[in-house]
Structure 1
Amino acid sequence: MKTSLYASLLLAGMLSPPAFAQTASSDGYVLDKVVQVSRHGVRPPTESNEKLLTRVTQRQWPTWLVPLGNLTGHGYTGAVEMGRYRGQVLRTAGLIPKGCPDARQLLVHASPLQRTKATAQALLDGMFPGCGFQPTYVAGEQDALFQANEMPFAALDPAKAKAQILKALGGSVEAAQERYKPFEEKLREVACLPAADCPYGKQPWVLEENAKGRFSIKGLSAGANMGEVFRLEYSQGLPLDKVAFGNARTPAEVSSLMVLTKAKYDFLNDIPYIASRGASELMNQISLELKQGTAFASKDPQGAPPDVPLMLLVAHDTNISYLRTMLGFGWKLGDYLENNIPPVGTLQFERYKEVKTGDYFLRIAFEAQSMDQIRNLTRLDGAQTPLKGDFASAKDCRKTSVGLLCPLKEALVKVDQNIDPTALTPYSFQ
């Protein structure tokens, strides 16, 4: 059973879309469809991460005022602001009308965890204040769009996955740990009290496979989680003497403690085979949505999403890292490390139509608030915009007033190239 904005609005009266004019950009492009995949907002560490970090550092970590893993009030407010800003951008472009859209203009679907559902609600409240919309989500804890990497239909071939992980590691786990030893030592100095018998950094890294055929690197996980928690502490607005135990007072200093966080993604998430297995279902639904209403549209035996101007999916950094890897898209934004996915960071697929020719183009971009914008709950406007990077998804892309636009046909080849048809399952948003 799903709680569905799309379905509830249909039942509410099958309203006709209000009349409003799509607005062409100064150089003649009209935005006519957007699919965006957003990470959830600021949260405390999950319960398992909290236990791990407490054990390996032998010290008390900051106390949060919400259950571990849940969206914080600060995180909700930051997501509302990102939603307000995106709504303003999309209204200015004429994609959505002023006021409350009807069922044919919006589909919002969230991963079924509290932090993703609450972030989806925050984005809706920011985009459409007073409309009372609620996101779609499945009952239970697993949705094939977002938790495919934990479900049998997208199971890995362990030997193939392990081979690609070892290649990313540079041949061996031991060699990789030796390269990253200085960063482990830095985290040990930050997180361990001098006189304590602190086990962090003393454990050899070990590549492990769990019962579901997924891999982790024991020993690396603690340092990776530590860096992410330090970033969350800063983003949450904790006093600076509590962020990384007083050792990270600027965004750059926070990012310097996230090198092992990036390493975990480099070695376990940003692996072509693993990404393709874990996000083909999600990428396929994105592709089907982008094709609707064009000559490239086709029926899919697995099911297709409703044809709406705005499709908003609220997910996890794992999902976005898989999609990024499948596309071959990389970014470096502000003080964040390369390819970092901050809270409410959003992968955007924007379809444009050129007025004079009727040709379609696709803009693929990643957009995120800076660390200080999240910490300070900065109002986003013309003077304070989010960080963003565009992706050249095809040859003959054009620099335009709305971003880097690539011919839709060629861009869709890039979108579809790593979808694994054996890692798909029937799906419906109804």
Structure 2
Amino acid sequence: MKTLTPLYTGLLLVSMISPPAVAQTPTRDGYVLDKVVQVSRHGVRPPTASNEKLLTKVTQRQWPTWLVPFGNLTGHGYTGAVEMGRYRGAVLRSAGLIAQGCPEANQVLAHASPLQRTKATAQALLDGMFPGCGLQPTYVSGEQDALFQANEMPFAALDPDKARAQILQALGGSVEAAQKRYAPYEEHLRAVACLPGTDCPYGKHAWALEENAKGRFSIKGLSAGANMGEVFRLEYSQGLPLDKVAFGHARTAAEVSSLMVLTKAKYDFLNDIPYIASRGASELMNQISLQLKQGTALADNAAPGSPPDVPLMLLVAHDTNISYLRTMLGFGWKLGDYIENNIPPVGTLQFERYKEVKTGEYFLRIAFEAQSMDQIRNLTPLNGAQIPLKQDFASSKDCRKTSVGVLCPLKGAMATVDHNIDPTALTPYTW
């Protein structure tokens, strides 16, 4: 069952009878922002309960105490997401996509993964974009939504042999070979996280590729180091005193990122695998595609389960979702002090559709945008002098650089978006 807010119910009714009444503003080189889909990660959270248990076990020491339940969005994380929402709202209003003040019901669709941290982040983004309007996101009841938890659901189950083969290829042939390459980073994390003179278990065991009861893979041994790096980044982003961030071993954003090499390795070996990504995110990518095509010659009006046709679609998800989408697109980024392809709190994969005024042709901009680690830590107001980090993606050979970024003809761009959607990993979806 979907949990529908009054806004959302109104959206379904109004969108059937009237287009959004917003004055569109052409750019200086003649483009009008026509539609936006953005997929954002949740904001700053403490480690999840399972991660906290694992890290305590492997390091044999007490980790910092957080003031909210494990895995939940923090107050600091909420405030950072509000600021990102405020900034994005200002950008979209300046472009004429959304109106000043509160939007009409048919202008915005905000839908979140059904976990507390994603629902609360979606609320924060709406509060930042539309302050005082009382908008609320929608989400399914329970803990699984086919858009965001497909990788845990039977309809997107993996062929274990095919998945294992691609994982082993990414590992360089074997888990043993990969662990040997990453041994210096394990040793460095051991020096950071383990108290001197203690019998700390971390880094003393061989990595092992494991398959769980749901058919999903993990690398035992690597998981601890990967989670450790992510927790250190969350500690810094949360604004914890520097003597508590990575037990006092990371006093700058660059130093935090230097402790995240194994975090990236986990994604390289388990998330950024073409087959696994396609199985895990085809449902999400398909809904994004359906939304971007609506109102154009590419629209499939007979497609079942299409989302309501709105100018602005906000989806609040997890880093796993965005990493899968990134892999399906073939889009890589390096932002500021973050490690390559990192997905920070409230990091956002943006799909922006533009229309060229003089020709009527549609173009697509795909970009990734995120606050810097210090902007999140310091809750820096975003304005002309302080803006988020961003990187554009050229999805085809005939893309062009414009005043709003890299724009690619919609037909070719959508071919890239659609290319790795696995039709056997789709399920009927009801908005």
Could you tell me whether the CA contact under 8 Å between 1:18 and 1:97 is conserved in 2? no
- Please name the residue that 2:136 is paired with: 134
Deviation, 1:102, is 1.7
In structure 2, the residue matched to 1:346 is 348
Please say if 1:329 is aligned against 2:318: no
Distance 1:18 1:339 in 2: 35
Shift of 1:375: 0.1
Q: Does 1:48 align with 2:50?
A: yes
Counterpart for residue 3 of structure 1? 3
Is the CA contact (8 Å cut-off) linking 2:281 and 2:325 kept in structure 1? yes
SS where residue 106 of structure 2 aligns? Answer: helix
SS of residue paired to 2:182:
helix
1:294 aligns to 2:271 (yes or no): no
Distance 1:244 1:287, change over 3 A: same
SS in 2 for 1:74: helix
- Measured in 1, the distance between the counterparts of 2:233 and 2:278 equals 28
RMSD (Å), alpha carbons: 1.3
- The percentage of counterpart residues that share the same residue type is 85
The residue matched to 1:166 in structure 2 has which SS?
helix
Name the SS for the 1:396 alignment partner: coil
- Tell me the SS of whatever aligns to 1:104: coil
- Where does residue 261 of structure 2 map in the other structure? 259
Tell me whether 117-126 or 194-203 shows the greater mean CA deviation. Answer: 194-203
Distance 2:171 2:254 in 1: 26
Q: Which residue of 2 aligns with 1:61?
A: 63
| Equivalent AA in structure 1 for residue 391 of structure 2 | G
Letter in 2 for 1:48: S
Map 1:128-207 onto structure 2 (within 5 A).
128-207=130-209
Question: The residue matched to 1:186 in structure 2 has which SS?
Answer: helix
For 1:103, what is the secondary structure of its paired residue? coil
SS in 1 for 2:47: coil
Is residue 114–residue 142 contact of structure 2 (8 Å, CA) maintained in 1? yes
How far has the Cα of 1:302 moved from its partner? 3.8
Rounded to whole Å, the distance in 1 between the matches of 2:128 and 2:197 is 48
CA distance in 2, matches of 1:323, 1:127: 24
The equivalent of 1:312 in structure 2 is 314
Q: Which residue of 1 aligns with 2:23?
A: 21
Q: Which deviates more, 371-380 or 298-307?
A: 298-307
Q: Which digits, 9 at most, give the CA deviation of each residue in 1:265-302, with x for residues without a partner? A: 00000000000000000000000000000000013544
TM-score w.r.t. length of structure 2: 0.98
**Closer, same or farther: CA 129–66 of 1 in aligned 2, 3 Å:** same
* Alignment partner of 1:273 is 2:275: yes
Find the counterpart in structure 1 of residue 252 from structure 2. 250
Q: Does 1:424 align with 2:395?
A: no
Separation (CA, whole Å) in 1 of partners of 2:14 and 2:411: 36
| Structure 1 contact 16–102 (Cα < 8 Å) conserved | no
In structure 2, the CA distance between the partners of 1:227 and 1:407, relative to structure 1 (3 Å rule), is same
C-alpha distance in structure 2 between counterparts of 1:189 and 1:300, whole Å? 58
Match of 1:228, as an amino acid? E
Go from structure 1 to structure 2 and tell me whether the alpha carbon gap of 1:20 and 1:303 turns closer, same or farther (over 3 Å shift): closer
Equivalence for 2:409: 407
Distance 1:396 1:419, change over 3 A: same
Picking from 91, 97, 119, the partner of 1:89 is 91
How big is the shift at 1:20?
3.4
Residues 94 and 188 (structure 1), Cα distance of their counterparts in 2 relative to 1, 3 Å cut: same
Q: Is residue 2:229 matched to residue 1:231?
A: no
Once residues 82 and 398 of structure 1 are traced to their aligned partners in structure 2, the CA distance between those partners, rounded to angstroms, is 27
Amino acid at match of 2:279: R
Partners of 2:374 and 2:430 lie apart in 1 by 39
1:374-418 CA distance string (max 9 Å, x none): 000000011100000000001111100000000000000000000
Structure 1 counterpart of 2:92, one-letter code: L
CA contact (8 A) 2:86 2:129 kept: yes
Asked if 2 retains the 8 angstrom alpha-carbon contact of 1:146 and 1:282, the reply is yes
Partner of 2:285: 283
Give 1:203 shift.
1.0
Q: 1:13 to 1:167 in 2, by over 3 A?
A: closer
Question: CA, structure 1 residues 42+396, in 2 after alignment: closer, same or farther (shift >3 Å)?
Answer: same
Q: Secondary structure in 1 aligned to 2:81? A: helix
Runs (5+) with no aligned partner, structure 1: none
Instruction: Name structure 2 gaps, 5 residues minimum.
Output: none
1:398 is matched with which residue: 397, 400, 410? 400
CA contact (8 A) 1:80 1:126 kept: yes
The 3-state SS of whatever aligns with 1:174 is: helix
The alpha carbon displacement at 1:7 in A equals: 3.1
Q: What is the identity, as a one-letter code, of the residue corresponding to 2:68? A: V
- Alpha-carbon shift at residue 3 of structure 1 (Å): 2.5
1:420 and 1:74 mapped to 2: Cα distance? 38
Q: Cα gap change, 1:385/1:74 in structure 2, threshold over 3 Å: closer, same or farther?
A: same
Any conservation in 2 of the 1:368–1:387 contact (CA below 8 Å)? yes
